[in-house]
Amino acid sequence: GAGVSQSPSNKVTEKGKDVELRCDPISGHTALYWYRQSLGQGLEFLIYFQGNSAPDKSGLPSDRFSAERTGGSVSTLTIQRTQQEDSAVYLCASSPTGGGGANEQYFGPGTRLTVT
């Protein structure tokens, strides 16, 4: 079956511009996570959705970052006024049930964001 998909796969943007990153989770998965993978910081959690609500936004690095999820499916991560330190690979993952600790998370291929 279809896995987690993300778009675009690569995004180059100028400093100060806004970007939107999209994640399509596996159908029926209620939990959705965003992570960021960068050279300096490794893999960091950004935000967790259960259905359409985001009970854990603790990893968002600043108020320039926001995310939403609609219809319990697609999620969009928006970065406003991008900075060079936002350059990273943004990963989305989904999990079949309510974020249970032992449940496997299925990762998408990521969006590589480069801010020039």
Partner 1 sequence: GNSVTQMEGPVTLSEEAFLTINCTYTATGYPSLFWYVQYPGEGLQLLLKATKADDKGSNKGFEATYRKETTSFHLEKGSVQVSDSAVYFCALSSSAGGTSYGKLTFGQGTILTVHP
* Site residues (vs partner 1, CB under 8 A): 4, 31, 33, 35, 42-45, 48, 55-56, 58-59, 91, 93, 95, 98-105, 107-110
Of 112, 67, 73, the residue nearest 94 (C-alpha): 73
**The tokens of 63 are what?**
């108020």
The Cβ of residue 86 has, within 10 Å, a number of other Cβ atoms equal to: 21
Q: How far is the CB of 19 from partner 1 (least distance, A)?
A: 20
Q: How far is the CB of 20 from partner 1 (least distance, A)?
A: 20
Q: How far is the CB of 81 from partner 1 (least distance, A)?
A: 27
Omega prior to 8 cis, within 30 of 0: yes
